[in-house]
Chains A and B, each alone.
Chain A
């Protein structure tokens, strides 16, 4: 655990070899089995305590993991993973899984990652399976601030995958000035070069902050006022599109100059356009967490627990965060990053300093009726 994370590091390789050998011993396979890929090992492991044969099926958001994470996990545990980046929108994903989960049918997934407010809804609806803490020793690594959340006190059904901030991404070459305030997004100079997110809590929350309202305590009237502002900007042609993850390519290619953006995305775009910047507006930025859940109909919950536990090892979390620069909920991750990439460890995107943390807001929990009403107001504002 104290070894460096570089793959060419000898101690690291030894550690991996040992963990593999331990696994082979446990599953009572001949030593020759090491040479056979993870899939065969996993197939054999099915006879052991796991509830069902077949791979572990994980659904997550795009660009949210290190390319090494799944292979490393397969090597360490012998469990085959079918990793899909098929979550693009909380509401859309919910629309897909709602009916089968209501009827108690399989959704062909064992771990799903959804944003906190949606995770809260799934837990409330009883769609998720409780965690088996005996298989989750690394739960102790969850940062203290995230243990007792309103929707799941003590984290019996859920743990965060990563947390992120929603603020402004911009292209200084096109804005020709530094952007500090959220309300710069309404500057007529940027007419037709602005995008906002279809994710209601992000867009509505930031517009409210720009109007001096706190999304943590907002009312329907606040939502209507923010929606009116969005409607006006849309009708005047200020806003070019409302997007999901796809604002990124428009920002990189120069079609837009300024966008509501997720904190970790801009780093990934630097390969295309190193000038792009992400800022938390002076009025405040939104903070969210994406949460790992096990659907109650999963027949591979042991494998799911193995995955969650493995991801809560700081060395593994560090690798993920180096590729997807968001905030890790795992204690000790920053220390691991410090060892391999000291510059990155200073990034406010991974480790928000106190002055930034003070400006982060969360959208308040909405009841189902409120959620419907807010959504209706927001969808009308974005012209849907």
Chain B
């Protein structure tokens, strides 16, 4: 006891501030300043009322936002469906292969995002093996295709963000005390019930974090829809990119970015309330 007291006496009172200073500075320079600039830009329409960009964001581009959220939600659900079992196997059943399997999950990141998405263009090619197989199985008509369809876009989103789902779920499963499941089974829980009552609730923070890490970047993504979709799959990220780089309508593009951020923030807060993970929200 006495030892800890002297340690805290010796501690520099400024230490906590110095420790958070780099983070705060980083946020200030790379978050607050750009956001403020963006806000200023969004209000800077010439010869129109200040809310013009925001009005058009809703009237003309609401459909694109809705579509983006639909695609991202779908991709997130598919990523949970694929990612949870995989994370479970890696955490509980992989034995000495654990690190190897985790390595495989991260492996795609060694290639750039763009190249990986381009690869799907080749894989889903009209004359490629996947389409031929599906046609042979009569899942696709003779003129059917995968490339430039909704399925390709959702598939691309799922593929690109899947590791962001697997890793947080893995981490939350990994730290669960195995004795808790043993205790549940000792108390006559079937393995299924033990999973549902013990493992699943304890892993929900991972699912929550994974969903955010998948859903948020997926809704702003502008590569998958552009490369794997047709104009009828265009998402809000591509629209913002086009408004910035093609049309040079900066107020509208900035307003669209803000509306997107606002909707996502509201959605995330609501999601956190429902899932009740206060430690993460």
Chain A positions near chain B (C-beta within 8 angstroms): 89, 91-92, 94-95, 98, 192, 198, 234-235, 237, 239-242, 253-255, 372, 375-376, 379-380, 382-384
Chain B residue numbers with a CB within 8 Å of A253 are: 125-127
What 12 new A-B contacts, CB under 8 Å, besides A95-B248, A98-B248, A253-B127?
A: A91-B247, A92-B245, A95-B246, A198-B246, A240-B230, A241-B231, A255-B125, A255-B126, A255-B147, A375-B246, A383-B232, A384-B247
Q: Is B239 in the interface zone, CB < 8 Å from A?
A: yes
Q: Which of A98, A237, A372, A384 contacts B242 (CB 8 A)?
A: A384
Q: Taking beta carbons and an 8 Å cutoff, which residues of B are in contact with A?
A: 60, 125-127, 143, 145, 147-148, 230-232, 234, 238-239, 242-249
Cα distance, A250 to B278, chains bound together (Å) = 49
Set B231, B244, B245, B247: member contacting A376, Cβ < 8 A: B247
Cβ contacts under 8 Å, A234 to chain B: 231-232
> Which of A92, A240, A382, A383 is B148 in contact with, Cβ under 8 Å?
A240
Docked Cα-Cα span, A369 to B94, in Å, equals 64
Which of B125, B239, B245 meets A95, CB within 8 Å?
B245
Q: Which residue of the partner chain, among B125, B126, B147, B231, contacts A383 with CB atoms under 8 Å?
A: B231
A192 contacts which chain B residues (CB < 8 A)?
Answer: 143, 145, 148, 230
**Residue of A whose beta carbon sits closest to that of B126:** A255
Chain A residue nearest to B233 in the complex (CB): A383
- Alpha-carbon distance A106/B125, docked complex (angstroms): 42
- Please report the C-alpha to C-alpha distance between residue A384 and residue B232 in the assembled complex, in whole angstroms: 10
Contact across chains for A237 and B230 when beta carbons are under 8 A apart: yes
Provide the residues of chain A in CB contact with B238, threshold 8 Å: 384
How far is B242's CA from A152's CA once the two chains are assembled, in angstroms?
29
A242 to chain B: closest residue by CB: B231
18 A-B pairs with CB atoms under 8 Å apart are: A89-B246, A91-B245, A91-B248, A98-B248, A192-B145, A192-B148, A198-B246, A237-B232, A253-B125, A255-B125, A255-B126, A372-B247, A372-B248, A375-B246, A379-B247, A382-B231, A383-B232, A384-B242
Q: How far is the CA of A237 from the CA of B231 in the complex (A)?
A: 9
Contacts A254-B126, A255-B147: A95 and B231 contacting too (C-beta < 8 A)?
no
With A241-B148, A254-B127, A255-B147 already in contact, the answer to whether A383 and B247 are too (CB < 8 A) is no
